[in-house]
Chain A
Amino acid sequence: MDIIAANALAVGYGDETILRDLSFGIPEGLITVILGVSGSGKSTLLKTLAGLLPPLAGTFSFAGAAVDYSSERSLGALYEKIGVLYQGGALLNGLTLFENVALPVRMHYPEMPEDMVRDMVHAGLAQVEMAGAADKFPSELSGGMRKRGALARALVLDPAVVFCDEPSSGLDPITSSRLDDLLLRLKETFGMTLVVVTHELRSIERVADRVLVLNDGRLHFAGAAAGLGESADGFIRTFFLRKDHHDDA
């Protein structure tokens, strides 16, 4: 069953349409990877799906309910069900890692006893193997640790869908691979739905169940990730084999 459904969606900034006529579904409990070349609009689409950027046209529904970008209530309902891992982590610099992860809990449930908040935060940090860094400030963490910490914050209220914007960018292959393991574990252990924007081939091959390929301002391909490397499609072959698709002609 699709937890996210987009119909004739157009996204962009102001008068500039970056992607148009996008119709796709994102199935529940799987990892869907949005891929495309740099500047193809992957992050812009993610922003629209995360409720940060209203679409220029079309509709988008989450868990069967249409998302109305002009309604605070509708967006509030969306934000309750999602978590977002931003490219640089986006941890608040003035707070420790513990306080960052505790932030959504404290803000949404101010009446929750502090010992429960502590348990939730430590469980979240343990999940991303960051329990030992709870008292550190983001500036004291490496890039990979910041991303894992940010993932703990995104997960702390058990969202239905986690959006990850280029989780591997700027990370070495080993840290990147550990992050991929973490995403797979979240899917397998908790049946979580993940939407990952990336153009890292290794990540795509390891984690993707389904892919949405963006090219030339449109949805080029939507389907299963298995066997994508053997696709006859010129653009996808270029992407996966780094082979100039004009060579096929």
Chain B
Amino acid sequence: MSETIALPKRLRAAEVVSALREIDQKNAGGSLVVDFREVEEFDSSTLAFLAHLAACQPGITAVNIPEALTRAEARFARSPDGSCWPERTVAGPSGGRLDRMFQGLADRFLGRLRILRQFLAMLGDELYHIGRYLKGRRGVYPGEIWNQMFFMGYGSFPIVCLLLFLVGVTISITSADQMRLFGAEMYIADLVGYAMLRELVPLMTGVILAGKVGAAVTAELASMSVLEEVDALRTMGLVPEKFLMVPRLLAITLVVPLLVAMADVAGVFGGIVVARVTFGMLPSAFLKQMVNSVDWTSFAWGLVKTVVFGWAVVVGAGFKGLSVGRSAEEVGRATTESVVLSVTSIIIIDCIFAFVLY
């Protein structure tokens, strides 16, 4: 004998869910009658419920369906043949689990390779555009290089100097005890000078540029892409990759040496302060000791490294900024990705420099 489920007067989404739960409990393969007699208040979930019972649930009969509900159901959207809507499936790699895993990994790897190729292509394009610009002085808005130098240099100078001063202080404090242990207090000048000029100033300056300059460049270019300003430049016969990127690349190239010089001074000054307070070492003695052990090549290599980091930041930022689509949410995503890309590139390049230089 079949069981009957009497539906309530109000049959909206919450009641439909309860009814479905009851149907699941009672329908153990036998027949079931769902009685709509009392139903007066309904919505689209009720109509979907009715369609679900009619087409997709063998052994279940809907009875006493009110006329109003029947009329509404006639106009309810359904698949062309009146059957259940097909389940949505997401196309994925075919084959077994292991196959799918390897296929997924291979797709990701190839995707990364494609991005790397595009990044390197952009780097090559930018070198070409800079060469063309230096030769013909065309295709870049007059004064834009100065604007960018002001933003990148003057805007970054206080934060770079402050952070590098603190790094100088930190490295001196953390090494002071060890130095004292071996009676090598005077060598703190060597340590600070060498570490700051060769490694910490370039690395920290690069990371600060990635966070400050790289993020700003990506956000600006991505917004321009979304607002069709990049398309507008192109249809004006300009090359956006030149018009927008060359001033930024030239600005970073010109500004970085000044930033590095100031950051070196700030970092060494931090070491001098700590050496004076901790060991009573005179600044003149600190500087004399440092100049004796750290030669100009350390400064020069630090400079070269930071210029390369600056380029990695600006090219990475431009790459991410100019490759966004048309939605505003991509601006935020591109900005985050740009900072990650820049910092990763900086550390990889630094590692390569370490292998080459030491």
Contacts and interface: CB of A to CB of B under 8 A. Distances in A.
B235 to A, nearest CB: 4
B141 A79 contact: no
Contacts of B236: 79, 103-104, 107, 153
A90 B138 contact: no
A52 B235 contact: yes
A91 B224 CA distance: 10
Given A86-B232, A88-B227, A103 B141 contact: yes
A106 B142 contact: yes
Given A76-B237, A103-B236, A104-B237, A90 B227 contact: yes
A94 B248 CA distance: 15
Interface string B225-240: 0011101111111100
Interface string B129-140: 000000001110
A86 B231 contact: yes
Contacts of B137: 110
A84 B230 CA distance: 12
Contact of A90 (B141, B147, B228): B228
Contact-size category for A: 20 to 34
A87 interface: yes
Contact of B228 (A82, A88, A106): A88
Interface in B221-260: 224, 227-229, 231-238, 243
Nearest to B325: A13
B141 A107 contact: yes
Contacts of A84: 231-232, 235
Given A107-B139, A107-B141, A79 B229 contact: no
Nearest to B137: A110
B228 A79 contact: no
B184 to A, nearest CB: 54
A92 interface: yes
A49 to B, nearest CB: 11
B129 to A, nearest CB: 13
A80 B235 CA distance: 8
Nearest to B139: A107
Interface of B: 137-139, 141-142, 147, 224, 227-229, 231-238, 243
Interface of A: 47, 50-52, 76, 79-80, 82-84, 86-88, 90-95, 103-104, 106-108, 110, 150, 153
